[in-house]
Homo-oligomer: A and B are copies of this chain.
Amino acid sequence: MRNVVVRNIDRVDPAIIKGLSEQGTATVHEAQQRSGLMLPYMRPIYPGSRIAGSAVTALTHPGDNWMLHVIPEIAQPGDIAVIGLSSENTDGMFGDLLATSYRAQGILGLVIDAGCRDVADLTEMAFPVWSRAISAKGTVKATVGSVNLPIVCAGTQVNPGDVIVADDDGVVVVPRALAAAVYEAGRVREANETEKRKRLAAGELGLDMYDMRTPLEKAGLVYVDKPSGADE
Contact = CB atoms under 8 A, between A and B. Distances in A.
A33 B136 contact: no
Interface string A95-108: 11110110111000
Interface string A161-203: 0000001111010000110000000000000010011001111
Contacts of A100: 197, 200-201
A19 interface: no
A7 B225 contact: yes
Contact of A133 (B26, B40, B63, B219): B40
A183 to B, nearest CB: 16
B64 A63 contact: yes
A9 to B, nearest CB: 8
Contacts of A20: none
Nearest to A197: B100
| Total copies of this chain within the assembly | 6
B135 A37 contact: yes
A28 to B, nearest CB: 8
Nearest to A217: B144
A25 interface: yes
A196 B101 CA distance: 10
Interface string A23-47: 0111001101111010110010011
A109 to B, nearest CB: 16
A225 B223 CA distance: 38
10 contacts: A1-B33, A61-B140, A69-B206, A69-B210, A87-B90, A88-B90, A97-B196, A104-B200, A137-B170, A177-B230
Interface of A: 1-8, 24-26, 29-30, 32-35, 37, 39-40, 43, 46-48, 50, 61-64, 66, 69-70, 72-73, 86-92, 95-98, 100-101, 103-105, 115, 117-120, 123, 133-138, 140-144, 148-150, 152, 155-157, 159, 167-170, 172, 177-178, 193, 196-197, 200-203, 205-207, 210, 212, 215-216, 219-227, 229-232
